[in-house]
Structure 1
Amino acid sequence: MQYQVSQNSATDVQASCIVVTLDQTGKLSEAAEAINNAANGFLQARVDAGDISGKLAETLLLPGVSGISAERVLLVGTGDKPQTTETALKVLNAIAAASAKLSGSVALSIHNLANEEVSESWLAEQTAMAYGRSQYSFTATKPQADNDQAAKKAEQIIWLGTDVSSQLEKGEAIAQGVNYARDLGNLPGNICTPSYLAEEAEKLADNPAVETTIIDEDQMEAMGAGAFVSVAKGSIEPGKLIIMKYSGADNADDAPHIILGKGITFDTGGISLKPGAKMDEMKYDMCGAASVLGTMQALVALKPKVNIIGMITSAENMPSGHASKPGDVVTSLSGKTIEILNTDAEGRLVLCDALTYGIDNFKPASVVDIATLTGACMAALGAVNSGLFTKDEALADELQLAARYSRDKVWRLPLEDDYQELLDTNFADMANIGGPLAGATTAACFLARFTEGTPWAHLDIAGTAWGGAGKTKGASGRPVALLVNYLLNK
């Protein structure tokens, strides 16, 4: 998508469509009123006829309006109250849904939505992201049947208002990162393997600011990463630890910020086999890794002056003669031993060795891991909020601030030492599960044991990484928007 800022009036701008608003009392915005006057009261006549009432996110597309340069007018309702970030997002999503498939350019005169809570710059950024969401389609394994229809999409957005070019560019970069993560998540497990993710990471190294390193399963075993290998060894697909180092800070020696994604490209549960129903959705168990790749892509485009390391710990979790068994004890890279009570609690096993490797080798200023880790978090928070776990108050504040700004929501869940005893076992330093209660917290407690002394947070995205059913099923690309804003704030 291309973006342009223009000072043209709503009546004079050349576009396939001009977007203007009205509130729930039927009052037209200043730009809508100008079009109405030029069209001899045509817009007001539509309101008076009840074609549109102005309720929140209601739309009415009007072709061939006389007296103006645009080919169409899209009237959008803004409700009966001043906009909040939540209601403004509904309006922007409605605008994008109604106009994203119109070929050519779409002009937006919506700066009137801005207020103390909703800035024009935020509106611009979220507009770019809304169009990214609306124009997304997954075509890697199902090409569009109607190529002419598939080609119809808005190619340019013209922002009528103050110069918000940088915010539009930022929103576009995030939208591209989100959609890249969605594409990766939606790929089937026979295509998106650990090796495939490694190849995608290597493509990022085409940018001179990025250096990619791939550590394979044999190397991980040689260095003593027994927890990671216990998961990867069950599959014929070799596991990978993927490291993308972005050097943007003026001082190359500045401590980096690590984002670490769980990349289980398919999760059968291993010997602790999952039920067959909906097991196809376990291709989404690499969405943490997808969010890291999407975030890194956006950051490469935005070029922030900060050092960032994107890490992905990737494997398949499969049942086989080589797979780990419940009751096995393995030694992690940290030297701590782990009794594997359930092979379906594999994400924490690959993550713990990656945490140890990243902290020991890069001495990071902070670490945030992102993982589709527990059904317990999904049960607690549904598809609205990702679970946030950390003991570091400053890091919690930074992530919550980024979540509020991006509307990529999180909810903080407990990470108290009292839960740690649930991981106790007679046969190792810890078990990999803590019983039927507080499953999301005990999973986070397990990871916390490998992060002592480093500011660290865990995002459980099991409920937010994908959703829907049938034709609506697909990856969400979350939490790319949160992560990009969090790291830009650094």
Structure 2
Amino acid sequence: MSLFHKNGKAKDASAFTNFALKKAALKGNDVIDVFIYFDEHEKATNFPLPRTGRKFISSKLGDVNFMAGGNDILVMGGGAFDETEYVSRSQYLMAVGAKLYDELEDRKITKANWLGMPNHNDFGAIAYGMYVRSFNNGEEQSLLEMGNCTYVGRSELKLDRVLAQAIGTNLTRMLINIPHGVHMGNEQNGLTVQRFVMYLKKQFNVTACFNNREQLANLGAGGILSVGRASAESPALVEVTYCHEDCTTDTPAVYVAKGMMYDSGGAAVKPAGSMKNMKYDMSAAAIAAGMLETFKRANAKCHVKVIFCLAENAVGQNMVYNGDHVVMLDGKKVHNTNTDAEGRMVLYDGLIYAQTQAAPHATCYLTMGTLTSTGKVMFGGRCGLAYAKDQRLGHTLNACNDDTGRINDVFLVPDDPRTDNVVYSGEPGVDLVNSQSTVASGSEYCYKFLKAAISESNRNRYTHVDIGGGIVFGKKDISEEPLSYESGTGWGVALMADFFSRLG
């Protein structure tokens, strides 16, 4: 594979032709070679081949031709980066990788060598796009075996980390795609709270688990219990610890993840059109699992705790009603005005647990959940909204966003202290209101509600990311390549892996 020079200008055509013919003349090479022909200005940059019946190779993205001996060398057009189509060059290169994977998959090509030497970062983005695209039919497809993986300077390119991140990304997509119920006769399979707990115990280091109602009641997790009251299965709070044996810090970073395995809205029941895809309401938990899988496969040297807050917001005779009062894990009483505002209820308990039991002195506390559609209204989707009181923490999140090519884009919303008090109740004996009309947007209100769970000493170590509104589920993956069905996009894994590997 060749990416030419950083300025995007192609190599001289005659030089490439000589290089290609020399490569094709090598004996015993029965593995196809892949060459990507880019054009910086999106012009149809063609060059003639010295063969009878002159052919032309196009740089248009996705155009494929074979040359130098029939099927020895596959040349695919790579097009050019267009900032009106892709959020970053990395996302564009992921799309190139996705296109290449589709072309090779269609031709049943499972092994290939790269013809030419791309630079390290660009090649990593293309490889990541190929690996992520291997999931494009909703399940893992065959992974291309890529040989002679070298880049400029002739140093080896270690694909282990790219592959680890792609496997973590595709795991997240798979978990999001599994229905809550798969019904066959009297059997119900699918991804429920307790099945997800079993999965976590099998795959990761579970250091604490409260997965029945008695355990949660003894813990005092009233917020989580209130959301899962009507469900046939108990809600759960699960603590998972990742700590590499060579990690030098005893202080972890903490990720508190919303995992609503299905959200009907409860007593504030959703309309059918809004409920059909509510299996994706566990996306933050799926992203956390993908991040942990990435760490495990890459042997990341960090120390991270994930608090999974799991429940099913169901309709039933035991459900909490709009207007009920709920006593949370810290003893505060919440006026539950909207049972469809359930994510902030489980995350609140998770934050209290993280600060009082799991990691009282963590380097940071991050909450994530599919909470509101504010981000979609503001940006049309594909952009999470991040909040942080401390600018340094916000800048770290922004730096991670830039370093991962903005394929998991976030927008840092200023923390306005004037809205800190909008979540508090004026009713005697009641501390907080989980949902009400105020000057704050819906997403900001969620952040301020969760911020009320943060102790004063931890305020500068807390950040929140709202990922609602189709960011994590849709008809495109994170390379912006279209899918023929709605699926988990893979958003978030690369960003969270980068963020927590820095702070953990």
Tell me the equivalent position of 2:479: none
What is the number of equivalent residue pairs in this alignment?
Answer: 447
Does residue 179 (structure 1) correspond to residue 179 (structure 2)? The answer is no
Which is richer in helix?
1
Tell me the equivalent position of 1:204: 203
Q: Distance in 1 between matches of 2:328 and 2:193?
A: 20
Tell me the equivalent position of 2:32: 16
Residues 27, 379 of structure 1: CA spacing in aligned structure 2 closer, same or farther, 3 A cutoff? closer
Q: Distance in 2 between matches of 1:42 and 1:248?
A: 60
Does residue 466 (structure 1) correspond to residue 462 (structure 2)? The answer is no
Tell me the equivalent position of 2:180: 189
**Identical positions, percent:** 21
TM-score normalised by length of structure 2 = 0.81
Matches within 5 A, 1:75-154: 75-79=76-80, 84-101=89-106, 102-109=108-115, 111=117, 120-137=119-136, 154=144
Amino acid at match of 1:393: Q
CA deviation after TM superposition for structure 1 residue 487, in Å: 2.2
Tell me the equivalent position of 2:312: 316
Residues 21, 159 of structure 1: CA spacing in aligned structure 2 closer, same or farther, 3 A cutoff? farther
Amino acid at match of 2:421: E
Could you report, residue by residue, the CA deviation over 1:36-56 in whole angstroms, capped at 9, with x for unpaired residues? 7xx625897314xxxx3x24x
Amino acid at match of 1:15: V
CA deviation after TM superposition for structure 1 residue 108, in Å: 3.0
Tell me the equivalent position of 1:117: none
Residues 199, 164 of structure 1: CA spacing in aligned structure 2 closer, same or farther, 3 A cutoff? farther
Matches within 5 A, 1:414-453: 414-427=414-427, 428-435=430-437, 438-452=441-455, 453=457
Contact conserved, 1:267 with 1:283, CA < 8 A, in 2?
yes
Compare 216-225 and 308-317 and name the one that shifted more. 216-225
Q: Distance in 2 between matches of 1:249 and 1:154?
A: 32
Contact conserved, 2:90 with 2:125, CA < 8 A, in 1?
no
CA deviation after TM superposition for structure 1 residue 96, in Å: 3.1
Unaligned stretches of 5+ residues in structure 2: 1-18, 182-189, 477-482
Q: Distance in 2 between matches of 1:400 and 1:43?
A: 53
Does residue 299 (structure 1) correspond to residue 298 (structure 2)? The answer is no
Q: Distance in 2 between matches of 1:78 and 1:164?
A: 27
Compare 97-106 and 310-319 and name the one that shifted more. 97-106
Q: Distance in 1 between matches of 2:290 and 2:82?
A: 35
SS in 1 for 2:334: strand
CA deviation after TM superposition for structure 1 residue 405, in Å: 1.9
Residues 130, 85 of structure 1: CA spacing in aligned structure 2 closer, same or farther, 3 A cutoff? closer
Unaligned stretches of 5+ residues in structure 1: 1-6, 113-119, 141-149
Tell me the equivalent position of 1:336: 332
Does residue 480 (structure 1) correspond to residue 493 (structure 2)? The answer is yes
TM-score normalised by length of structure 1 = 0.83
Could you report, residue by residue, the CA deviation over 1:83-102 in whole angstroms, capped at 9, with x for unpaired residues? 94454344333333333444
Q: Distance in 1 between matches of 2:234 and 2:492?
A: 27
Tell me the equivalent position of 1:358: 354
Contact conserved, 2:151 with 2:157, CA < 8 A, in 1?
no
Tell me the equivalent position of 1:159: 149
Q: Distance in 2 between matches of 1:152 and 1:348?
A: 39
Amino acid at match of 1:415: D
Aligned-pair Cα RMSD in Å = 2.9
Q: Distance in 2 between matches of 1:235 and 1:181?
A: 24
CA deviation after TM superposition for structure 1 residue 74, in Å: 2.5
